[in-house]
Amino acid sequence: MIHCQNCTTRNSLNQEFCWKCGAKLLVPSGAAPFDPAIPFMEEHVLERISALEYSVNVLTKRLDSLMETIERVAASNFIDHTMIETLTDSLESAGIDLANLEADWRRRIDSRILETEEVDRLGGRMQRIMDAYRGSDRKQFGLWIEKSYDLLVADRATESLHFLKLAFDHDPANFELGRLLAEVYFQSKEYTSAKECLTQVLETKPDHFEATLLMGLIQQRKGNLRDAQEKLESAVGLKKDSAAAHATLGSLLAEVGNKQRALKHLATALKLKPSAPVHFLMGGIYYSTGQHKRAIQHLKQATALDPEFGEAHYQLGLLCLEMNWLRKAQECFKMAQALNPRERRYRRRVRSFSEDATGPDQLNGLVREELRLVRCLGSKRTK
């Protein structure tokens, strides 16, 4: 006997179709002559064979469907590629230079990927904030968090502060919420409000690395250099393998005049993670001590790591000019002006590292990458 794979009705071995549902039996039909040398196949073995044949049949259908999908995607890609080639040819015929088209396209793809990752991370943080809520009005709290999330994703960070503040006032013990609110205040350059939030956060978790580092950065920008140094040194102690912590501490030490310690921390930051802004800051320190050749070496490394670092090209041009390397200086000035055509200072050829050029904002990109700070519309993005 054999069971039908469709309705499980018992059928004799010589049947081709099930007598009850009419489905084709997947075991070869026909009466087999009895042979004592061949052991009789038990019913449960036949059932397993039927089930396997059914699974193979389903898999075959799915593979056919997948192949059809792949063919449709390939046809669509062919059409899109043909359209892009046509547009490119038309633009070139109109005299438009497309030499950097592919590079710009790849940068835009990378940017879109980063934006998607940031949105996903922000969604995860919002979920952790909701999980940490212990209040009695979860519905209202959730509405505030949802509204702030939508505004942050839309790069309307200033507007999101209103809803984040309402939520934090409602649940001041929510560590995740306090840290997020402090980050948005920091990115919006509202340092006093950011400090207030972080003070509450650090009361709950005094040894939290990200909150400690962020407090040090805020104190530095408020001009409280002694407190800033204390917090940044604590951050380095909490996480010795943090390039951002060593770099920001080095920047602060250079600002207060302790250049030897500053160079030591900046060098440690470079060992942990090569960074164009850190090379640039080291170039500025070496320039201030009269070590122009070392300064030039670091500026060259900065431009190699980040060819679009206009300030590094400009300062390298100034140093080459002082070394009487006129041709190299001209190349650097030309590159800096091409990258930042609206920067009037590049035309005046000021012969020094400006305070803005070597300030803590040079490290914004490194800090943002390590702390994964939320984005804010209009905030200065320094690499």
Is residue 81 domain-resident?
no
Domain count, the chain: 2
Secondary structure (3-state) at 2: strand
Is residue 334 domain-resident?
yes
Q: Band of the pLDDT at 41, cuts 50, 70, 90?
A: very low
Angle 269-275-278 (CA atoms, 0-180°, nearest 5)? 65
Contact call for residues 198 and 215 (beta carbons, < 8 A): yes
Highest mean pLDDT (candidates 97-101, 228-232, 350-354): 228-232
Is residue 88 domain-resident?
no
- C-alpha closest to that of 150 among 169, 166, 163: 163
Rounded distance, CA 111 to CA 105, Å? 10
Tokens of 261: 């310690």
Rounded distance, CA 71 to CA 51, Å? 30
Q: Is the pLDDT of residue 2 over 90?
A: no
Is residue 147 domain-resident?
no
Secondary structure (3-state) at 6: coil
- C-alpha closest to that of 145 among 122, 126, 131, 124: 126
| Helix axes of 175-187 and 191-204: crossing angle, nearest 10 degrees | 160
Q: Which domain holds residue 53?
A: 1-30+42-62
Whole-number pLDDT of residue 28: 47
Secondary structure (3-state) at 55: helix
Whole-number pLDDT of residue 244: 93
Rounded to the nearest integer, the mean pLDDT of the chain is 84
Whole-number pLDDT of residue 216: 95
Cβ-Cβ contacts under 8 Å for 182 (sequence gap 6 or more) = 194, 197, 198, 201, 211, 214
Q: Is the pLDDT of residue 344 over 80?
A: no
Other CB atoms within 10 A of residue 74 CB: 10
Whole-number pLDDT of residue 266: 96
Is residue 339 domain-resident?
yes
CA 255 to centroid of chain Cα atoms: 30
Integer angstrom CA distances of residue 164 from 150, 157, 169, 318: 12, 10, 9, 46
Q: Band of the pLDDT at 296, cuts 50, 70, 90?
A: very high
pLDDT tens for 47-97 read 667 678 778 888 888 898 889 889 888 888 888 888 888 887 888 788 877
Cβ-Cβ contacts under 8 Å for 375 (sequence gap 6 or more) = 118, 152, 155, 157, 187
Whole-number pLDDT of residue 348: 62
- C-alpha closest to that of 3 among 38, 71, 54: 54
Indicate which CATH number applies to the domain containing 298.
1.25.40.10
Q: What's the rounded mean pLDDT across residues 119-139?
A: 90
Integer angstrom CA distances of residue 369 from 262, 273, 363, 375: 21, 12, 10, 11
Q: What's the rounded mean pLDDT across residues 270-277?
A: 94
Rounded distance, CA 160 to CA 243, Å? 30
- C-alpha closest to that of 374 among 94, 114, 101, 187: 187
Is residue 53 domain-resident?
yes
Q: What's the rounded mean pLDDT across residues 316-331?
A: 90
Whole-number pLDDT of residue 32: 46
Q: Is the pLDDT of residue 352 over 70?
A: no
Strand partners, 11: 2
Whole-number pLDDT of residue 380: 38
Write the DSSP assignment of 222-290 as a string of letters: TT-HHHHHHHHHHHHHH-TT-HHHHHHHHHHHHHTT-HHHHHHHHHHHHHHS--HHHHHHHHHHHHHTT
pLDDT tens for 170-225 read 999 898 999 999 999 998 889 999 999 999 999 988 999 999 999 999 999 999 99
Whole-number pLDDT of residue 195: 94
Q: Is the pLDDT of residue 378 over 50?
A: no
Is residue 222 domain-resident?
no
Q: Which of 41-50, 245-254, 339-348 has the lowest mean pLDDT?
A: 41-50
Q: What's the rounded mean pLDDT across residues 129-137?
A: 90
Is residue 6 domain-resident?
yes
